[in-house]
Chains A and B, each alone.
Chain A
Amino acid sequence: MSSYSFRLYVTGETTLSREAEANLRALCKNRLVDDYEIEIVDILERSALAEEEQIIATPTIMRLAPLPRLRVIGDLSDHERAARAFGLPGPAIRDEGRG
């Protein structure tokens, strides 16, 4: 069981979806090494999951663990802000995103 667990909600194969996934993965790899899990939910296929969490914007990234749950909307193009929003530790190497 990893310390950090994220769920990424996307709507199909859009640029935003791909950007968000890439950014989230980069962010986690850089700051959490391998102590994390990422689940990707495509709302077009599993709308009930979006219904459950009342998601209206995509991409939405939910931090499921550690508690409390946190939600961030956007493609996470700003790694520094995204890391702050998710309460992630400092980077192993300097962030690549604009920051």
Chain B
Amino acid sequence: MRDKSGGVTKIPTGIDGFDLIALGGLPANRMTLVAGTTGSGKTLFGLEFLMKGILQFDEPGVFVTFEESPSDLRKVMTAFDYDIDGKEESGEWTFIDATLTSSPQDVVVGDYDLGALIARIGAAVQSIGAKRVVLDSTGSLFSRFADTGHVRFELFRLAAALREQGTTSVLTMEIAGERNAFSRFGVEEFVADNVVVLRNILEEAKRRRTIEILKFRGAPHRTGEWLFTIVASEGFIVIPVSLLGTKELASSTRVSTGNTEVDRMCGGGFYRDSAIIVSGPTGVGKTLMAIQFIAAGVAQGECCVLFSFEESRDQLIRNAASWGFDLPMMERSGNLRIACEYPEMASLEDHFVSMKQVIEEYQPVRLAVDNLSALERVATARGLRDFIIGMTSFVKHQEITSLFTSTTRTLMGASSITEAHISAITDTIVVMRYAELAGEIRRAITLLKMRGSSHDTRVREFSIDGEGIHVGMAFGQSIGILGLAGGGESVI
């Protein structure tokens, strides 16, 4: 440790995303308290801390379990494709079973200490040369021994012993309430140096998992609550959304929108690393816009990914066929990957992770998501905003041209909830609306914003037939398709 020189050394946990918000990892050679409510992921955090330490950094670990039996924990980790047994055999992982055995509760007569536990941990650390130790979950110690002050003191001794042995440790602790309630046993008083809080909050009938670093004494870290998720085969993943988008590329290369008329409106096409949102009421032609954008990429031999959250695969293929696009053939060419998912099948965080996996696997040049508004069904406003920021930053980072569709809530005018969050971070907004003109419903299209480019700002009429979208003339008379024009002949 080098605290005196002002900097605390950190060791990377290897937990996806966590080291980013922790600005490097957990303070080395210290104990960090990971507090959380039941089911908030404390145990998994500990298990991963040890497993990643072995897999990525060659650091053996000791797991001291007070509640769940080692065999249960081995089973838990199998679900995440981690083989604890193998690591135990190779002498990199040791369990200390400190669970209450089947025997009746021990009777306490007179004074005692937790010297046995400390000695057992010490022996295990020494025998495998452990660098990481996890104690999970210490709350049960307090219920086992009535004198909480005494237990606290013993944990303090343990922390000192672990520090002396040069280990970095995680102590998990159950907290009763969601907020400001983690002093139940006064544990933070002795490991208050470093405190991480996990939360599993029910908000607007949706669960949000968050992680927050309350403090790292003498060491910097990111503040605030960060979303995280727990995914089978991946484990614990922190989603540091606003950290993903630090690189701004601002490419000036243009890519085709898939429609020469729309290309012309954009002044030559979309920018290659831009995020485009296509906004419009249901049935106006947003999905078509997305498909022609993807088809243009496939035609040029670019790898493209289409996520559909609204329509089933069959529906999507049928609709595309009616506009003259053969999606199954594009898939066979190997340049298209279609992923259809029902929003309700997973939480937003899980969708984020699975989309990220698909994108990382296929490395597409173009990406289309149809439809963001469908995700509103499984997300809170803040969750959706984080999702959109995270996704757009992530794809921009990879220089992917991304197109997202968004449904307006009313057929005429108005914007959607989604757009309120996304407009600031997208480069281009394509507005598609129905317009009522002289007693007829027509379709109108315009570009609301186009990053640093001279584009057509007029509202044009368009039509859809078996060959796709046809953009026609600008509407001659004043027409307000955004519902803001006021005074227009027919504000729609």
Where the two chains meet, the residues of A that have a C-beta atom closer than 8 Å to any C-beta of B are 9-12, 14, 16, 19-20, 23, 43-44, 47, 50-51, 54-60, 69-78, 81-82, 85
Given contacts A19-B110, A75-B109, 5 further A-B contacts (CB under 8 A): A11-B115, A16-B111, A16-B115, A58-B119, A60-B112
Assess whether B107 is interfacial by the CB under 8 Å rule: yes
Q: Which 4 A-B pairs have the closest CB atoms?
A: A11-B115, A74-B110, A47-B123, A77-B110
Residues 98-126 of chain B, each 1 if its beta carbon lies under 8 Å from chain A, else 0: 11010100111111111111111011100
Distance to closest chain B CB from A11 (angstroms)? 3
Q: Are B115 and A74 in contact (CB under 8 A)?
A: no
Interface centre among B106, B108, B116, B124 (most CB of A within 10 A): B116
- What are 22 A-B pairs with beta-carbon distances under 8 A? A11-B116, A16-B111, A44-B119, A47-B119, A47-B123, A47-B124, A54-B99, A56-B114, A56-B117, A57-B106, A57-B113, A58-B114, A60-B106, A60-B112, A72-B107, A72-B109, A74-B108, A74-B112, A75-B109, A75-B111, A78-B109, A81-B107
Q: Are A73 and B107 in contact (CB under 8 A)?
A: yes
Q: Which chain B residue lies CB-closest to A77?
A: B110
Distance to closest chain B CB from A55 (angstroms)? 4
Q: Are A55 and B109 in contact (CB under 8 A)?
A: no
Q: Which chain B residue lies CB-closest to A51?
A: B120
Instruction: Provide the bound-state CA to CA distance between A47 and B108, in Å.
Output: 22
Q: Are B115 and A77 in contact (CB under 8 A)?
A: no
Dominant secondary structure of chain B at its interface with chain A: mixed
Instruction: Provide the bound-state CA to CA distance between A14 and B112, in Å.
Output: 11
Distance to closest chain B CB from A45 (angstroms)? 9
Assess whether B97 is interfacial by the CB under 8 Å rule: yes
Instruction: Provide the bound-state CA to CA distance between A78 and B107, in Å.
Output: 12
- Which residue from A43, A54, A75, A82 sits with its C-beta under 8 Å from B112? A75
Distance to closest chain A CB from B239 (angstroms)? 37
- Which residue from A58, A70, A71 sits with its C-beta under 8 Å from B113? A58
Instruction: Provide the bound-state CA to CA distance between A58 and B123, in Å.
Output: 16
Q: Are B109 and A50 in contact (CB under 8 A)?
A: no
Q: Which chain A residue lies CB-closest to B115?
A: A11
Q: Are A58 and B115 in contact (CB under 8 A)?
A: yes
Q: Which chain B residue lies CB-closest to A81?
A: B109
Instruction: Provide the bound-state CA to CA distance between A58 and B122, in Å.
Output: 15
Assess whether B96 is interfacial by the CB under 8 Å rule: yes
Q: Are A60 and B111 in contact (CB under 8 A)?
A: no
Q: Residues of B contacting A16 with CB < 8 Å?
A: 111-113, 115
Instruction: Provide the bound-state CA to CA distance between A57 and B106, in Å.
Output: 10
Q: Which chain B residue lies CB-closest to A69?
A: B103
Q: Are A57 and B114 in contact (CB under 8 A)?
A: yes
Q: Which chain B residue lies CB-closest to A60?
A: B116
Q: Which chain A residue lies CB-closest to B100?
A: A54
Q: Which chain B residue lies CB-closest to A55?
A: B116
Q: Residues of A contacting B145 with CB < 8 Å?
A: 57
Q: Residues of A contacting B117 with CB < 8 Å?
A: 55-57
Q: Are B110 and A75 in contact (CB under 8 A)?
A: yes
- Which residue from B101, B103, B109 sits with its C-beta under 8 Å from A82? B109
Q: Which chain A residue lies CB-closest to B66?
A: A56
Q: Which chain B residue lies CB-closest to A98?
A: B110
Q: Residues of A contacting B119 with CB < 8 Å?
A: 11, 43-44, 47, 50, 58
Q: Are A73 and B99 in contact (CB under 8 A)?
A: no
